[in-house]
Amino acid sequence: MKRILITCMFLLAMQSTFSQTKDYVDQFIERLERSKDYLLLVADMMPEEDYHYRTTADSNSFAEHLMHIGWAMDWHSQTLMGERPARDWETDTLLKVDNKTKEEMISTMSDAFDNTIRFLKEFDESRLGERLDYFGADRTKLQIMMLLADHITHHRGQMLVLLRLKGIKPPRYVLYQ
């Protein structure tokens, strides 16, 4: 009887852990959906003629920040979490500025968010505890998700500064994204 009780307690604890992990992924997806909406609004506000504006010669332009977010989403999800080989930076131009118009960049970013969200919806949550090397740091795949969110926020913040420097008032901050 004692063994049955211990087994039942263990199974309940495991179910609770799985539920918390599943809840985290679902909440993260909701956050990404809101982040997508906000980023695309920011991207739309910059006039196309200012997409290549940068504060200094060695800083990223507005367009480069935008497309870099897409590249990083793809790399963090598909490559680090999904183990797909990384895109070749030298030859793959899908998520680079290249000769894209503003409209093409916004569409590409929308697709990048959709692909990342689709990936996360299909991701096996039991793999979130797997560890990998992240620039010399030992990180779990759950931490990779958090790093991805920070990365989006960092580059979007740079884009907001560039809007202000061009005299454009950014859209009001949207909570939970």
Q: What is the CA radius of gyration of the chain?
A: 19
Give Dmax (Cα) for the chain: 74
Token readout for 150 is 């920070």
Task: List, as residue ranges, the binding site for a divalent metal cation.
Answer: 68, 151, 155
CA distance 72 to 148: 7
CA distance 128 to 34: 22
CA distance 78 to 21: 19
Give phi and psi for 12, each to the nearest 5: -65, -40
**How distant, in Å, are the alpha carbons of 2, 25, 40, 66, 92 from that of 108?**
58, 24, 11, 10, 13
Token readout for 115 is 């692909």
